[in-house]
């Protein structure tokens, strides 16, 4: 087997490379923020549109999220996302604006990674505490 493919497979297995199936491109995983599994219902609205998608989050960090979308969104598409984060202080509704950074077909939905563009400082801090296990 090709040594480059072996190395890429090993990196992928330890999470350092994402293989984006939609385009076939590969790139390094540049996420810096600590992330944590978060599987909750959420709402996604494309700014300027009246369509609201019911989605499910997969994971979250203070800089981005992975969500399962019913359709593929183009890289760079801006979305408004709202979900409720359960904390020791009670449920907290979080609203943010994000941009799509990758998407790939995963089962019957599109696993979509988004980078947070706009969020209230206190909400970013709450997400950071959640990811660090201090919620």
Mean local confidence (pLDDT), 103-120 = 96
H/E/C letters for each residue in 5-18? Answer: HHHHHHHHHCCCEE
Per-residue confidence (pLDDT) for residue 18, from 0 to 100: 41
- Using the predicted structure, report yes or no on whether residue 1 has a pLDDT greater than 70: no
Mean local confidence (pLDDT), 72-91 = 94
- Architecture of the CATH domain 31-131: Beta Barrel (2.40)
Per-residue confidence (pLDDT) for residue 32, from 0 to 100: 64
Per-residue confidence (pLDDT) for residue 28, from 0 to 100: 38
Q: Where are the domains positioned within the chain? A: 1-30, 31-131
Per-residue confidence (pLDDT) for residue 21, from 0 to 100: 34
Per-residue confidence (pLDDT) for residue 134, from 0 to 100: 77
Could you tell me the pLDDT band of residue 135, with boundaries at 50, 70 and 90? low
Mean local confidence (pLDDT), 116-130 = 96
């Amino acid at each position: 087997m090709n040594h480059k493919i072996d190395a890429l497979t090993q990196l992928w297995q330890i999470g350092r490379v994402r293989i984006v199936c939609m385009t076939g491109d590969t790139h390094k995983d540049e996420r810096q923020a600590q992330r944590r599994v978060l599987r909750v219902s959420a709402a996604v609205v494309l700014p300027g549109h009246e369509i609201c998608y019911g989605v499910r989050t997969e994971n979250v960090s203070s800089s981005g999220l992975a969500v399962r979308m019913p359709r593929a969104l183009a890289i760079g598409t801006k979305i408004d996302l709202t979900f409720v984060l359960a904390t020791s202080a009670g449920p907290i509704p979080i609203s943010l604006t994000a941009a799509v950074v990758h998407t790939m077909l995963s089962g019957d939905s599109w696993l979509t990674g988004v980078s947070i563009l706009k969020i209230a400082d206190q909400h970013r801090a709450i997400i950071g505490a959640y990811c660090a296990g201090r919620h």
